[in-house]
Structure 1
């Protein structure tokens, strides 16, 4: 029962007594029966009893209500005191009047300590101005939500971020009586947010593309790495179909990847993807299936790494290794062939000198023999280009003159339905190399271009200077930071399929019909360019054409003129020791040198050479020694000769182009290197240079 109901019951009891009093007055004024006062008294007693019973009942209800209010108050107090968040009740000035247990625990003080303290003393000093603004906002608007403040505890030595919710409570006259505050420690939330920010920063810092797509291939996350790798911004990629955006079409490998990641949870492999500008990249892709809260597949996380550069380097390295292995085999064959060709060439040149009475037919036959041996030597020279260097001496080559020669030959010999154009930069300059070999390279490319255009087309030959920087050089084996002459030979022919373009430089690989190509052209081309310190690039599209770009180190300076010897010099009877395990070579060298007034001793291996030199060391003026011999090779023999006589002139002989570099790298002092097969003229001129 409420207080108002209880007052009403008392008023009604007074009203009944008043009614009885009026009845008693009426009884005194009138003549009524003698028994009437007794009835009136009984009626009064009855009314009083009823009123007392009602009062008793209402009093009991009031007591029960009071107990209920007390219980509710206690329940409210328990909720207030043991709530997980901090609750404060302050007056309008911010003086704390009530505080729950959670608030005291957050402040690390007793509850009683908080009562009467200004709430502002628990706010970080740098945020007290903000707290005053919150107080004003409460008074004006009546409430605030989710404001953050830095709160102190431990006597102001430690602070933590708190989220505040507050409201102003007005009295019956509408005047604000107090302020109620709820605050909670959000340090953990801040830590989680910081962790999320750090993770997001890592996602954006990484150079990998990180993509999240739903199970219907719609992109729902696209990091900065993906932007840089593929070119599309976040707003351009999100919501798009990942396969349509990056793969252009659905490939069997994509379907396999999708199925594998759904079944096993992960997949990884190599994919070819396209950029915004239609460029193609080789991607190492790793897929992980993401699950929702109940363990059902939700999305797929994709991490893409661009391995295009790595694959290019691997291809170049494998190509170099293949050339090196074939070159090792070829160099051995070339060595034996040179040993066979050298005496044949010497005999063909010596016979006319020894027998002046030979008829014209015999002389013609010997000339044919000499010519064919030289052609055989040139073929061996091409095979030797598989090794680490060329056997020919490099000189200055004018690029413009070289390309002009190629143009003239092409115009004279190629079909008229092939349009030949040249574009040579005015300052193209020169390179250091062998003009015959470079001529062979460019002629080979021009002929290949002609063969790729059986129905006509356009052959373009151009040259310009380019500077190769560090980034570009890092992507190409053999390239260095330098200025290069870039020679481009392009055609509008049938093109090369992407499946075989990586094999075109392999030895003996050809797409031409039987009898129309050996497959050595491009592999020899690669060997020549490598020996000149350059490199080659190729690009092709089927039905559009092919473009070869040859890079050669540029040379600055003037051209030195080479004066050929017109007459072979005659010796002064100098004694020369010739050492070679091939009897034919030693005999031909002996006859040739003796023909030009030199004396010759011969030996078949290093041991014989040392014995002869020890016996005639005061007379021997020059040692010609082969590098590859049984019992004792050239290196050991040369080192021993140097111990016997450090001043003895030595010329190394070999059919291997790498032998000269090997001798130089070993630090063995020699006066020259003579490559097999050599002509009589080359041998005599070389010896004369030593004696000058």
Structure 2
């Protein structure tokens, strides 16, 4: 298969071999040639000469390794290509190759062994195509898509920050205004400040709820998952759902028999179900049907291909369907964006579905919407299957309020925010505790390495430098019996979705009420039989494992 084929005589019949030679040599876009068993080029076609640059006389008799880059030759790639073709029946790949003039091109390569009737290796057939232009076009398309994604992301970030600023400015206005009114009235000797105290607390509570929703959207909220039977959970919420949607909406439960158990935070599932029910109610102003369905399901590789972090497998499925007005494709595409809402001003925050999305992904699952105008909407929540029976539903208990008796024990408070540290220290000292304080992990480590008695380490997680988790590990290596209370306002990595916190370790999410904080401290420092808590002694070996963050 060289380039110097003899001219065909029209009067003579053309042999099969010559027809094949003419066919191969007429292909201009592909390099089609043969190699002997050692990888030496033994034939050449016009296509090969066109984009590799060698004539048949220049290349026949030389190793095909000359087409590879210097780094690929040093790495032994040509030899591995032949070995792979022999072992697997062919070698197929794309990569950089080198022309005669030293320039590179991106090649699509196919190499197959050729054997005779007895199976003896005669050589290899090699087909190469220059796909540089295709690769450049694909790369340009990917760059354009990335630019579009970045643009859309920045638009979403702008919408998010604008929504956060708007809501928080309103709440700050209420808090600052109320504090100013309290200050003015106290200066005037007036004591009728209770309405402004109540307004301040209400605004602060709303701010706390807003941050929890934002954390849920960003998958940073602390979760307390356990094995959950969704059928029991849905059945237990039936009356609440009916009360929430009103008499005009008919509620149907379609619960699968033999439903698998899932691993999720039941409180978050309940919140998600209630929010979906309320959304469905709002989509049916004239009444309609609300169908809550559970089923066992699977997501295959194709279904999870475009969802990073989502794995194919078994899922427990909870769906909420309504017969409402439905969504246009444009609205459905933006439904999970934070602060995006189609409701009138004041009737929706635009965080409900984004919170649901964050919870689902943080739990190892997914959420999807199927909707069309006039056809209603179905929101489907996929939660990972968990083998084993559901955990018993805990009996709700009233919060434990600390008794007005003197606290006993020494507490090391580690908090980089001075105002927060001051509040915690003052509250503990009012209860009679001995309090040590540090503004960062390094200062706390110095205290823990000393001889001072410390019964409880109360530390923020997100400390600068040595963070709270690292500090706890260091402290436990010195004081194995030390109890640790984590306080976190940003729970990245601090969720309980991997495993529960270790013995002697608790977690509270900021903002936390002072009464709740004190109750947790008292519970942790009170032995089962009562009495004075034991001090955490210095030691050289760790005991309780630190919590997983």
Name the residue aligned to 2:433: 598
SS in 1 for 2:329: coil
| Equivalent residue, structure 1, for 2:390 | 558
Residue 529, structure 1, aligned to residue 360, structure 2? yes
Structure 1 residues 191 and 448: alpha-carbon distance in aligned structure 2, compared to 1, 3 A threshold: farther
Matching residue of 2:188: none
Aligned CA distance change for structure 1 residues 635 and 390 (closer, same or farther; 3 Å)? closer
- The match for 1:674 among 503, 508, 515 is 508
Task: Give the direction of change, closer, same or farther, for the CA distance of 1:417–1:682 in structure 2 (3 Å limit).
Answer: closer
| Residue of structure 1 equivalent to 2:294 | 463
Correspondence for 1:188: 18
User: Does residue 423 of the first structure (1) align with residue 238 of the second (2)?
Assistant: no
Aligned residues of 1:323 and 1:506 also touching (Cα < 8 A):
no
Residue 622 (structure 1) aligns with: 456
Partner of 2:330: helix, strand, or coil? coil
Q: Distance in 2 between matches of 1:511 and 1:524?
A: 16
Shift of 1:452: 2.1
Q: 1:655 to 1:457 in 2, by over 3 A?
A: same
**Is the Cα contact below 8 Å between 2:160 and 2:339 reproduced in 1?**
no
Mapped contact 1:671–1:690 kept (Cα < 8 A): no
SS of residue matched to 1:401: helix
Deviations 1:362-407 (A, max 9, x none): 9999888767655543332222213333224224443123323554
> Is the aligned partner of 1:689 residue 2:524?
yes
| Equivalent position to 2:424, from 584, 589, 596 | 589
- Aligned partners of 1:571 and 1:683: how far apart in 2? 15
The residue number in structure 1 matching 2:224 is 393
Question: How far did residue 436 of structure 1 move?
Answer: 2.9
Q: Which residue of 2 aligns with 1:512?
A: 343
State the aligned residue count. 373
SS of the aligned residue for 1:512 comes to coil
Distance 1:320 1:195, change over 3 A: same
Check conservation: 2:410, 2:434, Cα contact below 8 A: yes
Report Cα offsets for 1:474-512 as digits up to 9, x if no partner.
344443233211112122222222233211111111222
The structure-2 alpha-carbon separation of the partners of 1:469 and 1:653, relative to structure 1 and needing over 3 Å to count, comes to same
The residue that corresponds to 2:317 in the other structure is: 486
Aligned to 2:536: none
2:446 is aligned with 1:577: no
Choose from 440, 444, 447 the match for 2:271: 440
Between structure 1 and structure 2, the one with the greater Rg is 1
**In structure 1, C-alpha distance between the alignment counterparts of 2:278 and 2:339, rounded to whole Å:** 17
Distance 1:533 1:631, change over 3 A: closer
State whether residues 241 and 277 of structure 2, in contact with CA within 8 Å, keep that contact through their aligned partners in structure 1: yes
Q: Residues of 2 paired with 1:515 and 1:371: CA distance?
A: 17
- Contact 1:387–1:657 under 8 Å retained in 2: no
Q: What's the offset of the Cα at 1:670?
A: 9.4
Are 2:222 and 2:495, in contact at CA under 8 Å, matched by a contact in 1? no
Alpha-carbon distance between aligned partners in 1 of 2:304 and 2:393, rounded to the nearest angstrom: 33
1:259-303 Cα offsets, whole Å, 9 max, x none, are xxxxxxxxxxxxxxxxxxxxxxxxxxxxxxxxxxxxxxxxxxxxx
| TM-superposed deviation, 1:526 | 0.9
State the 1:462 CA deviation. 1.0
Question: Aligned to 2:232, what secondary structure does the other structure show?
Answer: helix
- Secondary structure in 2 aligned to 1:499? helix
Q: Structure 2: how far apart are the matches of 1:83 and 1:325?
A: 74
For residues 505 and 159 of structure 2, the distance between their equivalents in structure 1, rounded to whole angstroms, comes to 27
Cα 1:327–1:618 change in 2 (3 A) is: farther
How far the C-alpha of 1:572 sits from its partner, in A, is 7.1
Matched, 1:502 2:333: yes
After TM superposition, give the deviation of residue 472 of structure 1 in Å. 2.8
Distance, in Å, in 2 between the alignment partners of 1:329 and 1:379 is 13
Say if 2:401 and 2:516, in contact at 8 Å, map to a contact too: no
1:628-662 Cα offsets, whole Å, 9 max, x none, are: 45687656766765676677544332211116269
Query: Which one of the candidate residues 426, 444, 447 is aligned to 1:609?
Result: 444
**Contact 1:579–1:625 (8 Å) recurs in 2:** yes
Cα deviation, 1:72-117, whole Å, max 9, x if unaligned, reads: xxxxxxxxxx98546xxxxxxxxxxxxxxxxxxxxxxxxxxxxxxx
Residue 354 of structure 2 aligns to a residue whose secondary structure is: helix
Is 1:654 matched with 2:488? Answer: yes
CA, structure 1 residues 473+691, in 2 after alignment: closer, same or farther (shift >3 Å)?
A: farther
SS at match of 2:295: strand
Per the TM alignment, residue 446 of structure 1 is displaced from its structure 2 partner at its CA by: 1.9
* Higher RCO (CA < 8 A, seq sep 6+): 2
Larger helix proportion of the pair: 1
1:215-239 per-position Cα deviation (integer Å, ceiling 9, x unaligned):
xxxxxxxxxxxxxxxxxxxxxxxxx
| TM-score normalised over the length of structure 1 | 0.45
Aligned partner of 1:473 in structure 2 is 304
Gaps of at least 5 residues in structure 1 are: 1-81, 87-182, 200-309, 341-360
Q: Indicate conservation of the 8 Å contact 1:538/1:549, yes or no.
A: yes
State the partner residue of 1:155. none
CA distance in 1, matches of 2:225, 2:234: 18
CA distance in 1, matches of 2:241, 2:294: 17
- Alignment CA distance shift 1:436-1:562 (3 Å): closer
| Residues in 1 aligned to 2:234 and 2:376: alpha-carbon distance in whole angstroms | 21
Alpha carbons of structure 1 residues 517 and 679: separation in structure 2 relative to 1, 3 Å: closer
State the distance in 1 between where 2:258 and 2:469 align: 45
**Counterparts of 1:235-246 in structure 2 under 5 Å?**
none
CA distance in 1, matches of 2:152, 2:240: 31
